[in-house]
Amino acid sequence: MKVYSIPSYIEMLNEEGLLVESKVVDPTIAIEHITYNSKDTKPYTLFACKGASFKKDYLDEAVDHDIACYLSETKYDTNKPVSYLIVSNIRKAMALVADAFYDQAYSKLNLIGITGTKGKSTTSYYIKYIFDEYLQSVGKKPSGIVSSIDVYDGIIKKEAHLTTPEAFELHEHFDNAVKSGIEYFEMEVSSQALKYDRVLGVTFDVSVFLNISEDHISPIEHSDYNDYLNAKLKIFNQCKLAVVNLNTDDKERVLKAAKQSPLQTTFGYVENADYYGYNIKKENDAITFMCKGKNFNSQFKLTMPGLFNVENALAAIAVCDYYHIPLEHIQNGLAKARSSGRMEIFSTPDQSVIAIVDYAHNKLSFEKLYQSTLEEYKGRKIITVFGCPGGKAYNRRVELGDLSGKYSNKVYLTAEDPAYESVNDISKEIEKYVTKHPCECFLIDDRGEAIQAAILEAEPNSIILITGKGNETRQKIGSTYVPCPTDSDYAKQFLAEVAARAKINE
């Protein structure tokens, strides 16, 4: 943390062409805290008024807590004098303020940013497991992480609500990591974070581009596919090494954009990739594959299911080889790697009914999930449980409905963060596309009840794909996050009930 006076922030914002108007009540006051949460305010705080749902009541509360200054795109009348900084772009201003306040803490870390339509969390955790395997061997602290699953920065460990946090929080995590003696830090970088400047100014040592497929198209996200892709490609403007999947769609556009970074490396299933994956095999409960890298040609093993995860593993290998992590630690880390709520398997004791809990929630992830299921679980009847979020990513309702109907024997449509929409209305919209195929479709609003029905009504030799929520512990209803059991909790509970019934019938 670095303490600046309000006039110093005025100078910074002016230099970036962001300052519209300012007023300083006391120029000697230094900023000792930054936040956009009115309940987190105190004296010497700079408070940011941000977001479409911002209310003046929040600023009034902050002023009552004796903040030093507020940062806003709008000037407000306050109940007592307070300094203000009016800016043309609140998100860019927040990124600039956070960068200065936390003294560019990210520059003191080995920072890896991962973007893509699918696989960000799994790749982040593959890299984390490898780093941590190595770091433990040399007596150092585990790496930090910011993902859509959780956050760990050496001080804060919590479940995540956003894939990439707002700039104030993100820079705080970097600062906490540095204070804690953490050297390596992995993070997911969403298209929204790139488009809306949450990572503006941050330099990544390594940026990984996994894949791209149309997603997040809505009035509050991206206007179209090009807007989505262009947001993703911005990551190459702010990294030292670009790591690119040669099997991604729009490969030429991605590779052209990657040339903006000083260094590039590639991975994939094509022989000219710098990290070439081949000879992929499913062996019992493991997946083995060969990788020919710059300095090796070796076998690796994944004990986490999903043939599609080999691509994520190749990305992790490329990153960790760049950091000269010894091969044995890369192999051991990948063999141990797990990602909560991603391809987690549960079954009855006799494996007559298997459930997979996965975060698959868009077209690309559904396609990969079904392809892998058909290959790894040949002959099993497929049952899918999922929903779509309210108020965004409307294309998923068409695409996921069509894919689930095409590949499933039964589909159960249910709640998946409906926000301000009716769960039943969302499900009815998806149902139209499911039932274009010869597939039974059931609408059950309560997620726990939908999973219960899918498992208890499953015939022997079935596999149930429970997708979209992973191990999240809340549902977004309205603007509130309501606590709920995880999909894994539900799967274990109802599979145990199936097993108990089978035992009674013996």
Which one, of 454, 321, 438, lies nearest residue 386 by Cα? 454
Of how many residues is the chain composed? 506
Cα torsion 375, 377, 378, 380 to 10°: value is -140
Q: Give dist(CA 376, CA 373) in Å, integer.
A: 5
Range list of H helices, 435-486:
447-456
Give the mean pLDDT of the chain. 95
Q: What is the predicted pLDDT for the residue at 488?
A: 96
pLDDT at 9: 97
pTM, two decimals, is 0.90
Q: Which residues contact 209 (CB under 8 A, 6 or more apart)?
A: 115, 116, 232, 235, 236, 242, 243, 244, 245, 248, 254, 258
Q: Give pLDDT tens digits for 298-351.
A: 999 999 989 999 999 999 999 999 999 999 999 999 999 988 889 999 999 999
- Distances from the Cα of 95 to the Cα of 48, 231, 284, angstroms: 11, 17, 48
The residue that leads in pLDDT, 218 or 290, is 290
504, pLDDT greater than 80? no
Which pLDDT score, from 0 to 100, does residue 381 have?
97
Task: Answer whether residue 500 shows pLDDT above 90.
Answer: no
In the three-class reduction of DSSP (H, G, I as helix; E, B as strand; rest coil), residue 304 is classed as coil
Q: What is the DSSP letter of 211?
A: -
Distance CA 367, CA 371 (A): 6
Q: Which residue has the tokens 């494996």?
A: 351
Cβ atoms 118, 213 nearer than 8 A = yes
What tokens does 177 get? 């990591």
Q: Which string of DSSP letters, residue by residue, matches 109-129?
A: SEEEEEE-SS-HHHHHHHHHH
* Amino acid (1-letter code) at residue 145: I
What share of the chain has pLDDT > 70, as a percent?
Answer: 99
Q: Estimate to the nearest angstrom the gap between the alpha carbon of 447 and the chain centroid.
A: 22
pLDDT of 447 above 70: yes
Which value, to the nearest 10 degrees, does the dihedral of the CA atoms of residues 51, 54, 56, 58 take? Answer: -100
Residue 494 has pLDDT above 80, yes or no: yes
Confidence of residue 437 (pLDDT cuts 50, 70, 90): very high
The model's pLDDT over 50-99, given as tens digits with 9 standing for 90+, comes to 987 899 999 999 999 999 999 999 999 998 999 999 999 999 999 999 99
Both structure tokens of 503: 């035992």
**What is residue 289's predicted lDDT score, i.e. its pLDDT?**
97
Q: How confident is the model at residue 162, as a pLDDT?
A: 79
* CA-closest candidate to residue 206, choices 241, 160, 171, 250: 241
Q: What is the DSSP string of 323-370?
A: TT--HHHHHHHHHH---TTSSEEEE-TT-SEEEEEE---SHHHHHHHH
Instruction: Name residues whose C-beta falls within 8 Å of residue 462's C-beta, 6 or more positions apart in sequence.
Output: 352, 353, 354, 380, 381, 382, 383, 409
What average pLDDT score do residues 161-183 get?
95
Q: Is 47 helix (H, G, I), strand (E, B) or coil?
A: strand
Determine the average pLDDT of the residues in 481-499: 94
pLDDT tens by residue, 176-229? 999 999 999 999 999 999 999 999 999 999 999 999 987 777 777 778 899 999
Return the DSSP state at 134.
H
pLDDT given for residue 506 in this prediction: 62
Q: Which pLDDT score is estimated for 283? A: 84
Q: In this predicted model, what pLDDT tens digit does every residue of 135-155 receive, in sequence order? A: 999 999 999 999 999 999 999
Give the domains, in start order, of the chain with CATH numbers: 4-101 (3.40.1390.10), 105-336 (3.40.1190.10), 344-504 (3.90.190.20)
Helix (H) / strand (E) element for 91: namely helix 90-101
Query: What is the predicted pLDDT for the residue at 503?
Result: 73
pLDDT digits (tens, 9 = 90+) for 267-284: 999 999 999 999 999 988
In this structure, the number of other CB atoms found within 10 A of the CB of residue 314 comes to 30
For residue 505, the model assigns a pLDDT of 67
Closest by CA to 421, choosing from 468, 387, 447, 471, is 387
